[in-house]
Structure 1
Amino acid sequence: MEGSFGLDFGGSSGVRLDSGIIMEQVKVQIAIANALELLQRMMDKCFQKCIGKPVGSLDNSKQKCIAMYMDQCMDAWNTVSCTYNSWLQWE
């Protein structure tokens, strides 16, 4: 196998791990961590912008602010993501 190597843990199980599979799993885990961090940052900024301090309930204007702000964040994320993916394909 060109470009990859196996890790043999020996024993009777004969477990072999392909480095390509491991790298793909690591990439997926990194992508999940990045998405969770992005979501947390969006929630923090949205809270600061639309709510400011803890309240018992959200009135209609705060709910609209949250929806609009999250839509803007997701639109920006999609634009950046598409541009980045295009750049990767070009390279």
Structure 2
Amino acid sequence: MSSIFGGSGSIPSDTSSSKDLNARKEAVMSSVRNELALANAQELINKTNDKCYAKCVTKPSTSLSSSEETCLSRCFDRYMEAFNIVSRTYTARLAKERLEGQL
């Protein structure tokens, strides 16, 4: 029996179309994850710059003094180190919770 749209009226149960749909879904999800990671990285850098600049550059001028450069470098290093520790801990916790949920 044909439908008014020219098809046979039945929905194809082809596994390749479901695989194609799953592949597209996964590609979109991956793209969203990448965009979120980029947005988070940009936010981290912006916050770090704001906080470290406010702490280290007390008298803004046309150039940075060597002590300001050192302070900025150390401040940024501390923020990145703290971020990495928190990220590793959070990732490990998520992995542990996933494993416990599968048991």
Shorter-chain TM-score: which interval? 0.7 to 0.9
CA-atom RMSD, angstroms? 2.1
TM-score by length of 1: 0.78
Structure 1: runs of 5+ lacking an equivalent: 8-16
Q: Report the number of matched residues.
A: 80
Q: Percent identity?
A: 36
TM-score by length of 2: 0.70
Candidates 40, 43, 51, aligned match of 1:37: 43
- The one-character-per-residue Cα deviations of 1:11-32 (angstroms, maximum 9, x if unpaired) are xxxxxx6111101110111110
Structure 2: runs of 5+ lacking an equivalent: 1-14, 98-103
Higher Cα Rg, which structure: 2
Which amino acid is the alignment partner of residue 28 of structure 1?
N
Which 4+ runs in 1 deviate beyond 3 A? none
- Indicate yes or no: 2:77 matched with 1:62: no
- Indicate yes or no: 2:21 matched with 1:6: yes
Between Structure 1 and Structure 2, the one with more helix by share is: 2
State the alpha-carbon separation in 1 of the partners of residues 63 and 26 from structure 2.
Answer: 49
Deviation at 1:54, TM superposition (A): 2.8
Between Structure 1 and Structure 2, the one with more strand by share is: 1
1:14 corresponds in structure 2 to none
Which amino acid is the alignment partner of residue 61 of structure 1?
S
2:53 corresponds in structure 1 to 47
